[in-house]
Structure 1
């Protein structure tokens, strides 16, 4: 099935606008999509416009950061309300605090002789938080580093002990709190790329898969090896959980760039997700989706 339910735009840490992503999706023959920007729903009105323009139904979604045992991991919320007051408040708070950190980093750069105005950096943000990769994207525009070096340079610019290191002071919520926020916004809780969690903390991985508030698991993701995919499918079958997947597209801000729709999704995934779609164009869509 040609669809992608995990992509990121410039409203979070992606390099492309939502309209650009839907254009690429149309060119690649995608039948459905979801922009899952990090810790924000501020791009959803633009997603609705893009869906209408390119006739691609979408699932209103976001990817939230949870913190447990001093480790951060991600939780996808599918079918959330774009007008939910708490999600809007959370999104605006995240935007404000991320941008304040970026201002401190820009000032450090300027003190080091990087003569680029703050305004130019924020223009690169495209309406979303000014993530570190976007800061380096501006440096690449000025020839200070190569575009293909952006992701591998993050640590040397912003990592522990790096010249432009600045602590992330945003208060990330616990898994339970994130689940509550998603569900109160009418959404479904899906554990994002669980293979990443398993590599870092196998006990946390198994504990999360047992959580009652879980509605689904992201199986089809490049960070899930085949054995993890098989394990997740077994858990989903036993617990009657939704199965999701996608490319995790970030435009140029990826160590190994891929295009929307790069992750091949099986036909049977559609039946469990089509009820979440917004922007269906015709009743005949169901027959082409499944």
Structure 2
């Protein structure tokens, strides 16, 4: 049985279209799928349609960005109401903000002699925000760098000391607010790749784990080694919350380049998330 519950498409910071993802899913004979694009539901209606067309059950989901103590981390909301007017508005506001920020970065490029029209950059958006990797993909098309150099070039182009840095001034929700948003919209709350939070701030990690707000933790993720997986299994058992997992597929926009179904995930995860499948195959 093959399944993957953490993937990104062009509707956020992935390089693959939804059609391409489902084509891969069909070829792999996947039993279930979840598209977890960052901070947006705008691709989910199309994803559900493709799920039905390809006969692959899907869980509508979003990977939300939260900020605590100035630290960004991610919270997965599975079973989200992708037709919610609140979430559609939330998605559009952030899309608009990110694209306006990208326009500022493109102006800096123009001032630095990069003569690529703004519209050429935005073609790479393909329905989602013009994330930094998408801008570098455009630069690679025009010979400024090689496609395989995109992910290793992010800091050189957009880091704090880089020529095209523009401060991120968006007021992201804190953890409590993200949890309330997910619950208002019928979702369940899963801490995404917990080791990334732990590495940034151990106290914050413990606060989130002990908040009583989580419905589950993402154990099976490329960033989680065996030690953190065992730690999280103990936490999940003691707190009676579910465990989940996925490849965190981004197509070419990922340093690890983990493919769809690229990590081993036990069937327990499939069973944990089965109640939230759309288009169940009985």
What TM-score do you get using the length of structure 1 for normalisation?
A: 0.95
User: What's the counterpart of residue 32 of structure 1?
Assistant: 32
CA distance in 2, matches of 1:277, 1:128: 24
CA distance in 1, matches of 2:167, 2:92: 19
Match runs of 1:1-290 below 5 Å: 1-280=1-280, 282-283=281-282
CA distance in 2, matches of 1:217, 1:249: 18
Shift of 1:159: 0.5
CA distance in 1, matches of 2:255, 2:267: 29
SS of aligned partner of 1:35: coil
Q: Which runs of 5 or more structure 2 residues have no equivalent in the other structure?
A: none
SS of aligned partner of 1:10: coil
CA distance in 1, matches of 2:56, 2:167: 39
Following superposition, which runs of at least 4 residues in structure 1 exceed 4 angstroms of deviation? none
1:184-214 Cα offsets, whole Å, 9 max, x none, are 0000000000011111111111111111111
What TM-score do you get using the length of structure 2 for normalisation?
A: 0.98
1:97·1:169 contact (CA, 8 Å) conserved in 2?
Answer: no
2:37·2:62 contact (CA, 8 Å) conserved in 1?
Answer: yes
1:202-253 Cα offsets, whole Å, 9 max, x none, are 1111111111111000000011111110111111111111111000000000
Shift of 1:115: 1.1
SS of aligned partner of 1:6: coil
> CA RMSD, aligned part only?
0.9
CA distance in 2, matches of 1:244, 1:268: 8
Shift of 1:29: 2.4
Shift of 1:272: 1.4
CA distance in 2, matches of 1:247, 1:268: 16
